[in-house]
Amino acid sequence: MSISTADFRTGLTVETGTGLFSIIEFQHVKPGKGGAFVRTKLRNLRTGAVIDKTFRAGEKMQQAMIRRRPMRFLYRSGDEYTFMDMETFDQIALAADRIGESSKYLKPDTEVSVVMHEEELLGVETPSTMDLVVTKTDPGLRGDTASGGSKPATLETGAVVNAPLFVNEGDVIRVDTRSGEYVQRVSS
């Protein structure tokens, strides 16, 4: 489907001569002299790289049709993550670099969305937060408060996050998978 720069919105996927991109942000600019243009920040859906690109106002391009299929993460074997299609029960294996940094927080039986363009697998969208058990951290001390600092905490998936001093081994904490930051303690 052909679209123009007037149709731009955040999250729209476009196909240009150089690849498949998702629009992160855009700004229509009308200078005093010369023609109008659109300044954009685009994420390459195949490599994850973010680039700045300027389009002439009214420039035409193809909209990329992206599908998201619900899948369940089954297991990790080395650097490969295996997922099962929730409808057909077919299994696919993806390398960790196709999933991104959030792969460190995936635990078996987690529902994800696999992003596809035609039949090409582009990546995996994981839940924005995950509740994980702390398996190793220094013991908390009496009087440790939420505003008192942080310490490294190893999670059940092997990932390490900075957690408040009051978090102990065995606690379940919520982690933001996009930034890798501690959000809150869920239970102790």
Quote the pLDDT of residue 165.
86
Quote the pLDDT of residue 161.
92
At 113, which amino acid appears?
S
Domains of the chain: 2-63 (2.30.30.30), 66-125 (2.40.50.140), 129-187 (2.40.50.140)
- b/e sequence 124-140, b meaning 16+ C-beta within 10 Å: bebeeebbbebeebeeb
Residue pair 40/26 in contact by the 8 Å Cβ criterion:
yes
What phi, psi does 58 have (nearest 5°)? 85, 0
Residue 17 tokens read as 């001569």
Burial class (CB in 10 A: 0-12, 13-18, 19+), 95: exposed
CA distances from 169 to 98, 131, 157, 177 (A): 31, 14, 14, 20
What residues are paired with 14 via a beta bridge?
21, 63
Quote the pLDDT of residue 175.
93
Q: How far apart are CA 117 and CA 73, in angstroms?
A: 20
Residue 166 tokens read as 């009051």
- How does DSSP classify residue 143? T
Low-confidence stretches of the chain (pLDDT < 70) are 140-148, 188
